[in-house]
Structure 1
Amino acid sequence: MFDQSYNDYFILLSALLLIIGVLTTKFSSRVGVPALILFILVGMLTGSDGLGLIHFDNPQLAQLIGIFALIIILFEGGLQTKWSTVKSVTKPALSLATLGVILTTVIVALAAKLILGVSWLEGFLFGAIVGSTDAAAVFAVLKGQNIRARLGATLEAESGSNDPMAMFLTIFFIELILTESPSYLLLVGSFFWQMGIGLIVGILLGRLATFAINQINLDSSGLYPVFALAFALLTYSLTDIIGASGLLAVYVAALVIGNSDLTYRQSIFRFNEGFAWMAQILMFTILGLLVFPSQLITLDVIIKGLLLSITLVLIARPVAVFLSTMKMGYDLKERIFLSWAGLRGAVPIVLATFPLLAGLENSQLFFNVVFFVVLISALVQGSTIAIFAEKLGLIGPTKIEPPHSLELVSIGKANAEILEFEVSEESNITNKRLAAIDFPKDVLINAIIRTDELITPYGETEIKVGDILYILVSRESKKELKKMLQQK
């Protein structure tokens, strides 16, 4: 009876946390506060120092949940990222993800040495923990914003690829602290192994996943998103087992999959978008449970946290951005914006659990201060990114997010799909009547969405810029159709 009551209580609490988390996203958009802040506050409120509903003090489990959630979030972010946009910012994004993290680590380390009163190695460890921007925070805050595509792509590519450097540096300095005679050559070689092999494995498994998804013929369309997600978990685990960067491999694999010709593309994208939101809710709530407000909200932590936040946001990040993006085509306003948009989030908090598990002397202090720094970054920077971009004149064209949905029922073995296509000025069918368009065989326009209205297509219907077409096409004609739609 006790076990059954405990299970029911746990399930009820999980349901309430998910409901609160989903409603929180709606509330956060209205008040201009990033949802991750509210998720963390929900965790802190329901934890031991809050309402006492959940007692959670297990950094190892929190680390596991955090990494699992990051895999899902990075995978979804990579799927949604267009290679055509990322390709142009590969060089600055990689520079920020490597040189930028190192510069940030060094500058914050100097401040941590003075402010926290720790040793030099511990100062560098703290700098490494907060050295990288956070993919979960960046993807969540930039979603739906009209920031220039190049800037958004730079931030997303940087946050998706800088975790390996921060994780390497964190483990590197923990090893230096714990080991009397560390092998520097071995540790440096480990970094190049992690980055290089992570990149290669990501590309290979991304191509394998794309091939498998397109070739397998499943009885239900609902299985394709699960199949794709399984490859994300496989990519991380195999890469991590051989000592390379699993997070980098997942992001690269997602880029490959998302930019390939993919069957049941929309089903895969929609499923992973929802699952990524659930992962964010779970991860930030768990991290909120892990911190005890009575230890966090003290004068000592607040003063030290504020000083380190100011150093990170106003000194370390700008220096890292300006030096890492020299002669890469960014003007002064764009560099200022990139400096301000370097959000910290789940990754620093997850990395802060490493010293806790290693049993370092100042690990609890580090965790509390890192948590405070993340709160300040997400609250101050995250809530003002759109305002900052607008003031600097860096708002791009309005993104078209159609407020409609089309639920498809898979008919199993049928050799057909429905494609969603948004008409642009460069499209071959713009301003043409349907009857005058020479479509490939086995193609049928099912519906047209124009300025939030459903239009029934007829032969005399003229296709306009911004129209969203739902096209039924056989798999044999899919490639020919896509080529015809895009060419001018």
Structure 2
Amino acid sequence: MISTDGILITLALIILIGYVGDYLFRLTRIPEAVILMLIGLLLVPVSHVVPTKYVALLRNLAPLFGDIALVMIMFDGGRRISFRTPISSSGLGLALAMLDVVMPSALLAVVMNSFLGWPLVYGAILGAILGETTTTVIIPVATRLSISDSMYNTIVVEATFNSVVSILLFYLLTILLTGQFSALSYTRYVISYFSIAVFLGLIMGILWLLALSWIRSAKAYVVTIGIAFLLYGVVDLLGGAAVVAVLIFAVIIGNHDVISDYFGLRLNIDEERLNIVEGELEFLVRTFFYVLIGMISIISLYYAILAMAITGVLLAIRYIEVYSIVRDSRFSTLLFALAPRGLTAAVLASIFLNMGYNPYSTYVFLVTFMVIIFTNIISSGLLSLIVKEKVKSEEQEMKG
């Protein structure tokens, strides 16, 4: 029998591990994702410190935390879409974000089918999951680097929107697994799927802005996140694309200043407090997923080799897309290095595992676990080399 005390101790342990991981990241610069997943690996598959019955319970909670994570990712991504930002300055980031997801999805569909006999759709799903580059690593790194505003904007836009594109493509592909579709019926289903979300996202966003013009409570920022969760649940129950509804809602909330100026509204949204609440929720969800993935993963040489090969494919794709689009060699080198996979990949892999399309759900999950580790280690190493080279060149300039 599973005791309440045991559950609370396990959850407390995961939260404490999250703080330890954050501390070790600041101390060693080893990516937090790698630290947390390796700790999870040590706790269960290696040492069996946490009983398997509690791990099974945590795995059952993964869909709930997955939905919470998706809401937070889309809410954050939507709020970063600014109506004030010129399209020209974010165009490169948007183009890279699309290529980050579409190219791996298309190529891995063919590669996994040709070499391992996977059905095309499962290879495409794996590519969609591995298409994101994690904002939790990239944005802090970009903030510390001495780069131009346009470079920083490109990096942030790419890292934010490839997560959004990754989630959308993932759900479009998983729809194909639910039944037999003709091209026409699939198109109709997708249109219906998105129409519900777009309509309700717009309505809820506008209504909530009007409500905020009357609300003067200091807790309005917490309620705003609560409305995002409510919207996700309602749209999902109605059979719509819940993540799209949250994205549109977030775009409206994120541009409240522009909209309020246009319509003459007086809004009470404390962006700083909203970011704090969102950041704390993201910390809990991120810690849960990284540790859980480590706990339920299998130590396998086969999956390690397969993940290394797929990481090589992802790096090749990254090299081609970056160096074919970006002409500035210094910027292209930095962009190439900023390619660690993270929270979105972990969440989508966990969601796909719980969908139960075995054996491919398990294959995708285990490969994703290893790819997250490999890409974070490689990215961390490349960034260290770039920083050292930059410091060296600056010292030479000072001497000259």
Q: Deviations over 1:146-179 (max 9, x none)?
A: 5544344334333433445434544555565675
Distance of 2:198 and 2:336 partners within structure 1: 26
Contact 2:101 2:127 in 1 (8 A): no
Counterpart in the other structure of 1:298: 300
Deviations 1:190-216 (A, max 9, x none): 556666765665555444434433421
Is contact 2:194–2:241 with CA below 8 Å preserved after alignment?
yes
**Which stretch shifts more, 165-174 or 368-377?**
165-174
Return the alpha-carbon distance in structure 2 between the equivalents of residues 168 and 78 of structure 1.
Answer: 13
Deviates more, 1:274-283 or 1:240-249: 240-249
Aligned twin of 2:359:
361
Shift of 1:184: 2.4
Q: Partner letter of residue 186 of structure 1?
A: S
Shift of 1:18: 1.7
* Superimposed CA distance per residue, residues 445-479 of structure 1 (whole angstroms, 9 cap, x where no aligned partner): xxxxxxxxxxxxxxxxxxxxxxxxxxxxxxxxxxx
Tell me if 1:237 matches 2:233.
yes
Mark the runs of 5 or more structure 2 residues left unpaired by the alignment: 258-266, 392-400
Q: Distance in 2 between matches of 1:217 and 1:80?
A: 24
Higher relative contact order (CA 8 A, sep 6+): 2
Task: Give the 3 Å change call, closer, same or farther, for CA 352–9 of structure 1 in structure 2.
Answer: closer
Please give the per-residue CA displacement for 1:49-94, whole angstroms capped at 9, x wherever unaligned: 4333142247563233123123224434655676545754443344
Q: Which has more strand, going by share of residues? A: 1
Contact (CA 8 Å) 1:86, 1:153: kept in 2 or not?
no
State whether residues 90 and 157 of structure 1, in contact with CA within 8 Å, keep that contact through their aligned partners in structure 2: yes
Tell me how far apart the structure 1 counterparts of residues 388 and 248 of structure 2 sit (CA, whole Å): 31
* Structure 1 unpaired stretches of 5+: 394-488
Q: Distance in 1 between matches of 2:191 and 2:381?
A: 36
Aligned twin of 1:13: 10
Matched, 1:225 2:231: no
- The correspondence for 1:381, drawn from 344, 358, 379, is 379
Amino acid at match of 2:72: I
Task: State which drifts further: 155-164 or 342-351.
Answer: 155-164
State the secondary structure of the residue aligned to 1:215.
Answer: coil
User: Structure 2-normalised TM-score?
Assistant: 0.77
Structure 2 Cα separation of the partners of residues 240 and 331 of structure 1: 44
Query: Which stretch of the first structure deviates more once superposed, 360-369 or 150-159?
Result: 150-159
1:341 and 2:330 equivalent?
no
Classify 1:276/1:369 alpha carbon distance in 2 versus 1 (closer, same or farther; 3 Å).
closer
Residues of 2 paired with 1:382 and 1:191: CA distance? 39
Q: Which residue of 2 aligns with 1:213?
A: 212
Aligned length: 377
Percent of residue pairs identical: 22
Shift of 1:270: 2.4
Structure 1 stretch displaced more, 265-274 or 159-168: 159-168
Give the CA RMSD over aligned residues.
Answer: 3.7
Equivalent residue letter for 1:110? V
CA deviation string 1:272-322 (max 9, x = no partner):
22332222222322333332xxx2x32211211111101111x12233445
* Alignment partner of 1:112 is 2:109: no
When Rg is computed on C-alpha atoms for both structures, the one with the higher figure is: 1
Corresponding residue number in structure 2 for 1:33:
30
Cα–Cα, structure 1 residues 371 and 226, in superposed 2: closer, same or farther, change >3 Å? same
Change in CA separation of 1:14 and 1:153 when aligned onto 2, cut-off 3 Å? same
Aligned to 1:309: 311
Query: TM-score, normalised to structure 1's length?
Result: 0.65
Q: Secondary structure at the match of 2:4?
A: helix
Alpha-carbon distance in structure 2 between the residues aligned to 1:75 and 1:390: 36
Which residue does 2:394 correspond to in 1? none
Alignment of 1:67-86 (within 5 A): 67-76=67-76, 79=79, 84-85=84-85
Q: Post-superposition shift, 1:102?
A: 1.8
Q: CA deviation at 1:332?
A: 4.1
Residue type at the aligned position of 2:212? I
Alignment of 1:140-219 (within 5 A): 142=142, 147-163=147-163, 165-171=165-171, 173-174=173-174, 176=176, 179=179, 181-188=180-187, 202=201, 204-218=203-217
Aligned to 1:283: 289
1:24–1:362 distance in 2 versus 1, CA, 3 Å: closer
Q: Secondary structure at the match of 2:256?
A: coil
